[in-house]
Chain A
């Protein structure tokens, strides 16, 4: 597939306290390749991956595969200094919210991240997948699966126990988020909820729009 050859450009943002494994998680998802692009001035790092999404038709049959260009955004670690620009949140369509199963504080801070999301994301109930990362460190576990599930249920979001170290549930979590996004799009007839320039079919009438307003794409 050439650079511009896709049906949908979808942007995900990885969030969570510093040290929970966001960068390793995305690294694992993008097949362990160091292919990230870093934009210094805005402090974001992003990785890309191509996927084919098969939507289920109303009769349960699989429709035509849609070519997805996934952009996975990562911070440059500025949350350590307390300065995440809110534009980060606004331009993303889906969120991977990570905490560290061996660090209780990172779990307690999930509430703060959720309230920040509700304020700054493109809508009040964006699609979020909660990931309890580092599940391979079972002897250091500080958060039980039950309490994590309980919190996820409170917010009505899915929960996965993941390991960026051995890859457990990493693909499942991201694919689940993609599925939520694609289903949301299918539900929205006019697609007016979508953040600017994020997603458009590549039909001739929409091509200009998708190119022109796509601010988040790498300008380097």
Chain B
């Protein structure tokens, strides 16, 4: 069987790493962002490693677990990687909810960092 394309390998190992850190210690997530990174969290924008980590660590739950249902990865024309994740999460004792998250990963000085991150719960309006 042919080896997976590089972007698939990098994308999926990033995704595994990201949620593993998110679920165990969100304060560690600073290591994957840079000062120009953008996060849009439920429609609210945050820019820069510090603001992003502050937002993520201040989310009001103590426990969270993500389960990845599916992920897709593509190379972009400027040699970045675009990743999209569909999954479910459980915060503390709340019911399980679906979510979507997208990332752009960029190689800077031989390290992959996240320059863009967008998150939404999969919660819909009635009717």
Which residues of A approach B to under 8 Å, CB–CB? Answer: 18-19, 38, 40-43, 45, 76-78, 80-83, 85-87, 91, 215-216
Contacts and interface: CB of A to CB of B under 8 A. Distances in A.
Contacts, number: 65
Given A40-B97, A40-B98, A43-B97, A80 B59 contact: yes
Interface of B: 41-44, 59-61, 91-92, 94-98, 120-127
A110 to B, nearest CB: 17
A83 B126 contact: no
Contacts of A80: 59-61, 91, 94
Nearest to A91: B126
A86 B126 CA distance: 9
A196 to B, nearest CB: 9
Contacts of B97: 40, 43, 76-78
Given A43-B97, A76-B97, A77-B95, A82 B124 contact: no
Contacts of B98: 40-41
A82 B41 contact: yes
Nearest to B89: A81
Contacts of B127: 87, 215
A197 B12 CA distance: 47
Given A76-B95, A80-B91, A87 B126 contact: yes
A41 B124 contact: yes
A81 B59 CA distance: 7
The winner among A43, A81, A86 for most chain B CB atoms within 10 A is: A81
Given A40-B98, A43-B97, A45-B95, A78 B60 contact: no
A18 B125 CA distance: 20
A198 to B, nearest CB: 13
A85 B123 contact: yes
Given A19-B60, A78-B97, A81-B59, A43 B42 contact: no
Contact of B92 (A38, A45, A77): A77
Closest CB pairs A-B (n = 9): A77-B94, A43-B123, A87-B126, A76-B95, A87-B125, A82-B42, A83-B42, A215-B127, A38-B95
B104 to A, nearest CB: 21
Contact of B123 (A83, A91, A215, A216): A83
A82 B41 CA distance: 9
Contact of A83 (B60, B94, B121): B121
